[in-house]
Amino acid sequence: MSNPVLTPAAASGPIGVFDSGMGGLTVLRALRRQLPNADFLYLGDTARLPYGTKSPATVQSYALQTASLLVERGVCALVIACNTASVFALDALRMRFPELPIFGVIEPGADAVCEVSRSGRIGVLATESTIASNAYQRAILARRAQAKVFARPAPVLVALAEATWTNGDVPESVVRAYLDGWLGKDGPDSLLLGCTHFPALIEAIRKVADGRLKIVDSAETTARVVAQALGEVAGSRAAGYLATDSAERFSRLAPVFLGECVEVVEMVDL
């Protein structure tokens, strides 16, 4: 289903961004760089995280509820800052809200990694559910039919990010274990970070890769696609934050993913 174009008349509200929890803040961070004048409203469904362990039907139901709340708050566009929800709920959301531009993270990430890979040997690190869905594998092969995709779930990286353990020997050792066998001549030449938590560990990933992989951050690529599609979005540069559980934990973890403190978090009930 095609994505509608945002008209100036429809651009009066904030851009809605949602995730099952905190990882989507890396997408928001990239969006704020790409659209510095826009207003944003971020919703982390922290009471029901992670989406990655839920069934496709449950993820779709959660995403529809989350998006509906943001639409009620008057958002002018939606960004699904969650790989699992992008896989299982993007089409359903576009059907429910056909007038609204809605963006996922899968297609932009696949586009970008296919562009930077010279050999077509592409590595993907993501959550177990995203890898099992074959969403990135299909998207990459649709763009480069001769590509060889190395796909590996990396759930411990999510746990490290949530624990704010993003630098040092431990995260580097975990990254090294996940990249085992990928850094030689028979491995991939590029690496797609297919989980919005993973940019929080970008320094550890770069250090282990040591220039042998071109790293593509799906948060950054998604933000560029959104900015290109929406154009200039006027606003007051404001950002609001909603959570379904533990505002205190949201505020404590926000700097890891957003790069700045969040002092005011509104609790909402889905």
Query: HEC states along 119-162?
Result: CCEEEEEECHHHHHHCHHHHHHHHHCCCCEEEEEECHHHHHHHH
**261 in catalytic set:** no
Q: Tokens at residue 77, please?
A: 């566009």
- 195 carries an active-site annotation: yes
From 76, 82, 114, 261, active-site residue: 82
The first and second tokens of residue 176, run together, are: 């090294």
Nearest one of 263, 258, 239 to 21, comparing CA atoms: 258
Q: Kindly state the tokens that stand for 243.
A: 């959570």
Query: Are the C-beta atoms of residues 76 and 15 closer than 8 Å to each other?
Result: yes
Compute how many other C-beta atoms are within 10 angstroms of the C-beta atom of residue 6. 18
Report which residue type is found at 62: Y
Give the active site residues: 82, 195
